[in-house]
Structure 1
Amino acid sequence: MREYVLVCLIAACTTYLVCGMARRLALRTGAVARVRERDIHVKPVPYFGGVAMLGGVGASFFMATKLPFLGRNELIENDIGAVFIAATVICAVGVLDDLFEINAITKLAGQVLAAGLVVVGGVQMLWIPLPSTVISLDTSASIAITVFFIVLCTNAVNYVDGLDGLATGVVGIGAAAFFGYCYVLVADQNLSRASTASLITVAIVGVCLGFLPHNFHPARMFMGDSGSMLLGLLLASSSISLTGQFDSAPLQDGGQGLLPAYLPLVLPLAIVALPILDFTLAFLRRTYRGNPFWVADKQHLHHRLLERGHSHRRAVLLMYVWSGLISFGVALIGLTQFWWVAVLFIIAAGVVTVLTVRGNRQMKPSPRELAGKTPQRTEPRG
């Protein structure tokens, strides 16, 4: 655990310090969110938060390979090498988009390329747990499912990046829950606590902690597509590393029930539940209206919170609470299987639902003010 804490601190400190240089570089190159009538910021806000995050990831991965416990595992070294190369590619695609606004097809091609690099490096879905059995995937199915999941998570995190600090906090909270689950699971199964999934998730937590002081409202810089797509790829890679490579059969054979056996598959989806829900609703909404799914609108989940009168910070904090409730709740229910944990989860969900729906009608903004609360980029541009 001490080495994981050190990796997290290295990621956080490096990201925090590199943000200053990345911010200056963004201002010099013109990679900024321009001031428009519907934006909340009153002066140009630089992008390139993803560049700082990539620096934090690289520093934490390098440190991990030099530590006596994590550094002895050849599989981890191979996996994080492949993931870092893919992360560099996806970050570069995001930087190009921040600078030149590349079209959706080009961006998708870059995402598929990065996902393919993860697969080539050996991080891929190998089997899927089902009732009383585990389905082994052939090569073609394994590659297709892995690439699809990575691209899905990459775009889902990109879509939810609509308010200052929103994507950073949601992903960081989900990664913390996933790290806790990974660590407890391998310890319970008497496996090595050194795992690719744990290392990547703790690095995600670190870079999110390091970037959040620069990004929380009012943001001094935005992560841009370089950051949102980077976080999505890392989160998907860590999930696949555990879900696809951990054999859930011992959990089923051990008489612990199906729920713990399903957690390697269910928990990654729970972690990205809000981004994927937002992405799915946007796709259905725009398709129903006959619009391309990449064309921006102001009907995302965070926009709905603003419409109900929540302030910018309150809307973001509510999304944090929902993210933590879903991810930590699913993990605790699955690992403990105590009925009272499920009851507490239901009660907490009810309370948060009331707070979410209630809003503050007296502070409800006008349509013009609401438009002003919409950040410049809520999703991939095309």
Structure 2
Amino acid sequence: MSVLYQKIFKIYKRSYWLLNKYLEELKRDYFTHFALLLLVNGFMTVFQLGYLILRYRYLSDHTPVWYTMPWGDLQLDYKRNLFAIPIISFLFLALGVILMTLMKKIYLRFVPQITTVIITFANIALTYSLVRIVFISSIPFPTLIGYNYFQLLLPFVTSFALVFMLAPRMIKMAEERGIVTDPSVHAHPGMLLTKPTARGGGLIFTIGFLIVGLIFAPLTKPILGIYLIVLLLALLGLADDLQNTKARFKFVESPLIRLVLLFLISSLVLLFEIKIRFVGIPFGGIYSFNGYTLLTAFVSVFWVVTILNMLSWANGTDGAYAGIVGIACIFVALLALRFIPLPLEQIAYAKLAVIAAGASFGLIRYTWRPSRVLWGFSAMSAGAVLATLPILINAKVAASIMIILIPFIDALITGGRRILQGKNPLRGDRSHLHHLLIERGWSIQRIAVFYWGTTALFGLIGVLSPEKFTVITAVILSVIVAGVIILLNVQSSRKKQPLPPLE
């Protein structure tokens, strides 16, 4: 009887384990397809509405809408009724969100995939129909996207595709060689990992960035300098990844040694003429560093090292960093194309920015929770692009800061708090903004989307702000963001509660 009982218990235990595993897979599929549904279909709906508004004045008063009707006048309708197409797309999207929300409780296998595919194809058909109707029913109109913007598309898609296809192979290679972070072995106070995960995401970014950059961008002195800095930071990151498995790389574990190496690598900007020569001042005007060689050198190197560290500290949750870097690089590309007439070197810098954006977006699937790969210390290779390109495109410091405002202010407050508490500002803890949001019950996925959204919002403000108001706008936004983060820190210190388990 006892033997039978043991067998029944083993079967029950095995079934329970399989059921939990099955539910975890369903949850992962749900969040992946929900994000895909929301982003892709939301983009198509916004595109339809924007495209129709921009082309509306070129349309004939009556346009072919009802293709199911017999050929002739019966197919025509007032052009204002074309707005029904983006409305229908929005309703499809809303229906998908409702269904996916209901399925979060039911967990039916393959239903999220089927829902996402059906609604996405329906909206693709509606988008194609709208574009076709506009083309055949309009008087000649100027191109919506200028050539300078259009030529950025191929470098972006190429880097995205290369990184997207390269990542699984690099991840497998890292896992086979034991280049992983195991939360049970490699303890860190700010770590949010729950299972061993491969390292080297920054190296994957670097490979894609360098290969595509060499194909599409001219090899000028400043661009060569960016390539060298990105490569050296990736190699430093690789050494940090290997220090967990190889004793000869243990020296990289020291924060002080890392900082010294960062300053040495960042100093290369001076050899390749990547220098900050002026800064904007509030209410218009600039302060030039011409004639102050040492000051120019110090400010340039200090800027690069600061941005590298601040962005690196934002790399604390799955999916957030890839989106931050990708979105920020898009805005850097837009800033590079703002000149009239447009110098050729600015087009090259814009190409580098979109190549970096494509490489970052190519990693989102693999860094989304539950992540298959960590950026690791080589995340600074991506940060180097965001630290150096704004210098070359003569972007105001204030505009550059606004693009990465949340990571920037979070890093300042975190470093200041550690100093006030008598701690090493370079030593990690669990009081970054993403930790504070987790304390308030936010999921990792929600935090990632929050970082993406705020990067897009503040980046848009930075790009669209009039030149003379850029600095004051950055100051006002910084004060608001700092106030919110400080308030969260105060509330957290009062509660003193452990972080809730991650979903």
Q: TM-score, normalised by structure 2?
A: 0.59
Aligned counterparts of 2:286 and 2:192: Cα–Cα separation in 1: 52
Aligned counterparts of 1:204 and 1:6: Cα–Cα separation in 2: 13
2:301 aligned with 1:153, yes or no? no
* 1:317-336 equivalent positions in 2, closer than 5 A: 317-334=449-466
SS of structure 1 residue aligned to 2:465 = helix
Aligned counterparts of 2:369 and 2:404: Cα–Cα separation in 1: 22
Cα 1:291/1:41, change in 2 over 3 Å: closer
- Please say if residues 178 and 201 of structure 1, whose CA atoms lie closer than 8 Å, have aligned partners that are also in contact: yes
2:177 aligned with 1:46, yes or no? no
Offset from partner CA, 1:117-164 (integer Å, 9 cap, x none): 222112111233444454133321121111101100111111110100
Displacement of 1:307 after TM fit? 1.3
The partner residue of 1:218 within 367, 370, 380 is 370
- Please say if residues 175 and 271 of structure 1, whose CA atoms lie closer than 8 Å, have aligned partners that are also in contact: no
Displacement of 1:42 after TM fit? 4.1
Offset from partner CA, 1:344-372 (integer Å, 9 cap, x none): x99xx99xx8xx99xxxxxxxx72535x5
**Which one is further off, 210-219 or 13-22?**
13-22
- Please say if residues 89 and 110 of structure 1, whose CA atoms lie closer than 8 Å, have aligned partners that are also in contact: no
SS of structure 1 residue aligned to 2:396 = helix
Displacement of 1:14 after TM fit? 1.7
Cα 1:140/1:82, change in 2 over 3 Å: same
By relative contact order (CA 8 Å, sep 6+), the higher-ranking structure is 1
Q: Which amino acid aligns with 1:367?
A: P
Aligned counterparts of 2:286 and 2:313: Cα–Cα separation in 1: 35
Q: Which amino acid aligns with 1:220?
A: R
Offset from partner CA, 1:96-129 (integer Å, 9 cap, x none): 1122152112211221122122221121112334
Displacement of 1:41 after TM fit? 4.4
Q: Which residue of 2 aligns with 1:91?
A: 234
- Please say if residues 278 and 288 of structure 2, whose CA atoms lie closer than 8 Å, have aligned partners that are also in contact: yes
The partner residue of 1:239 within 390, 393, 397 is 390
Aligned pairs, how many? Answer: 321
Q: Which residue of 2 aligns with 1:369?
A: 500
Offset from partner CA, 1:248-307 (integer Å, 9 cap, x none): xxxxxxxxxxxxxxx633211112212221211111111111111122211111111111
Cα 1:284/1:265, change in 2 over 3 Å: closer
2:221 aligned with 1:78, yes or no? yes
Aligned counterparts of 1:41 and 1:116: Cα–Cα separation in 2: 34
Q: Which residue of 2 aligns with 1:135?
A: 288
Cα 1:266/1:336, change in 2 over 3 Å: closer
Cα 1:79/1:218, change in 2 over 3 Å: same
* 1:1-382 equivalent positions in 2, closer than 5 A: 1-36=149-184, 40-65=192-217, 71=218, 77-100=220-243, 102-130=253-281, 131-137=284-290, 138-183=292-337, 185-186=338-339, 189-192=340-343, 194-195=345-346, 196-226=348-378, 228-243=379-394, 264-334=396-466, 367=498, 369-370=500-501
Q: Which runs of 5+ in 1 are unaligned?
A: 66-70, 244-262, 358-365, 374-382
Displacement of 1:77 after TM fit? 2.4
Aligned counterparts of 1:43 and 1:265: Cα–Cα separation in 2: 39
- Please say if residues 289 and 295 of structure 2, whose CA atoms lie closer than 8 Å, have aligned partners that are also in contact: no
Aligned counterparts of 1:58 and 1:234: Cα–Cα separation in 2: 11
Q: Which amino acid aligns with 2:275?
A: Q
- Please say if residues 35 and 44 of structure 1, whose CA atoms lie closer than 8 Å, have aligned partners that are also in contact: yes
Cα 1:298/1:132, change in 2 over 3 Å: closer
Q: Which amino acid aligns with 1:212?
A: I
- Please say if residues 438 and 499 of structure 2, whose CA atoms lie closer than 8 Å, have aligned partners that are also in contact: no
Q: Which amino acid aligns with 1:25?
A: M
Q: Which runs of 5+ in 2 are unaligned?
A: 1-148, 244-251, 489-496
SS of structure 2 residue aligned to 1:22 = helix
- Please say if residues 154 and 229 of structure 1, whose CA atoms lie closer than 8 Å, have aligned partners that are also in contact: yes
- Please say if residues 241 and 376 of structure 2, whose CA atoms lie closer than 8 Å, have aligned partners that are also in contact: yes
**Which one is further off, 116-125 or 216-225?**
116-125
Aligned counterparts of 2:468 and 2:275: Cα–Cα separation in 1: 28
SS of structure 2 residue aligned to 1:162 = coil
Q: Which residue of 1 aligns with 2:97?
A: none
Q: TM-score, normalised by structure 1?
A: 0.77
CA root-mean-square deviation: 2.8
Q: Which has the larger radius of gyration?
A: 2
**Which one is further off, 143-152 or 105-114?**
105-114
